[in-house]
Structure 1
Amino acid sequence: MADKEELTRFGVSFPAPLIEQFDEYVEEQGYANRSEAIRDLARKALLEPSRLKSEQLVAGTIVMVYDHHARELPLLLMEIQHDYHRDIISNMHVHLNHNQCLEIIAVRGQLARLRQLHQQIQVQKGVTYAELSVTFAEEEHAGDQHDHHQGHGHR
């Protein structure tokens, strides 16, 4: 948090069992106090993909687990990713076991397009898990036509 940021105080009422659980969470996560934990939870809630506007520029990840023995699935997933090459910054592929692969795709672009990419991945037969997580949102700048992708390697 910036040093010059003005803080606003407000009161929050919790039932006793909930505040006990919350205090345990604060301690487990290593927060100095309840306020820091509440600020982080508020920031996270404000970045929920369902809350953001479709045209907003965001960055985040798509995490998926799939059966690489599923007929033609690895090739199909690669083709889908090529269709969204302007939105994909990078990806990491991990072999979990003999049958399953974990893939983490770093994405940046218009939220509507990232939702489409996620949806196309999650409906494929053999994909057992797919989640879009947005970790950053930015204001759209005039003339920003994915210039941020220049010079980044793709797999």
Structure 2
Amino acid sequence: MERFTISLSDELAAQFDQWIAAHSYSNRSEAVRDILRKEIETKRLVQDQAIYSIATLSYVYNHHERNLAERLTNHQHEAHDLVVSSMHVHLDHDDCLETLFLRGLTAQIRSLADKLSAETGVRHSSLNLIPIKIATLQHSHHGHSSHAHFHTHS
């Protein structure tokens, strides 16, 4: 682990300590590491440098919209290699919340999110991407001989 020192004005240090407390960090180092990770991940995503991602896509839709549930399900089936899991919640008599858990090529995840979000009757969609690295490993455990491991960037 590499160490470095930074200097902050008294006012900025006090504001940072308030932020740390509000976000339940136990120390400044962990807070700084998370801030740096988030900035680096954001840059990767903005500049299309994140080849693979894990993601959640959440959206609210009116289940009375003609054939909408079927169209949404068809999009998910077409992207079965991306969709790891889905969760469906009934909000009221008209609206449902669906959250998809996705894994794969970032560009394909974004494309699926765009298709689903653009369907008539879908509202309030939100995509949360986390860049990852994929490593295929040849070792044996749990009855598997080779499989992929997914790691977030440091």
- TM-score, scaled to structure 1: 0.75
What percentage of residue pairs aligned between the two structures are identical?
31
SS at match of 1:133: strand
In the alignment, what sits opposite 1:27? Answer: 21
Residue 50 of structure 1: aligned partner: 46
1:136 Cα offset (Å): 4.5
Distance across 2 between alignment mates of 1:14 and 1:134: 34
Q: Structure 1: where are the runs of 5+ without partners?
A: 1-5, 149-155
Instruction: Work out which structure has the larger RCO, using CA pairs closer than 8 Å and 6 or more positions apart in sequence.
Output: 1
Equivalent-residue separation in structure 2 for 1:64 and 1:130 (angstroms): 4
Distance (Å, rounded) in 2 between the aligned partners of 1:21 and 1:69: 48
Aligned residues: 137
Q: Which amino acid aligns with 2:83?
A: I
Tell me the residue number matched to 2:2: 7
Partner of 1:152: none
Shift of residue 14, structure 1, vs aligned partner: 5.9
What is the alpha-carbon root mean square deviation over aligned residues? 2.4
CA shift, 1:45, in A, is: 2.7
Counterpart position of 1:153? none
Among candidates 65, 84, 97, match of residue 70 of structure 1: 65
Q: Is 1:118 paired with 2:113?
A: yes
- Of 30, 35, 38 in structure 2, the residue corresponding to residue 41 of structure 1 is 35
Structure 2 length as normaliser, TM-score?
A: 0.76
What secondary structure sits across from 1:47 in the alignment?
Answer: helix
Measure, in 2, the Cα distance between the counterparts of 1:14 and 1:120.
Answer: 47
* Partner Cα separation in structure 1 for residue 39 and residue 65 of structure 2: 36
- Alpha-carbon distance, 1:91 to partner: 0.6
Distance 1:80 1:14 in 2: 52
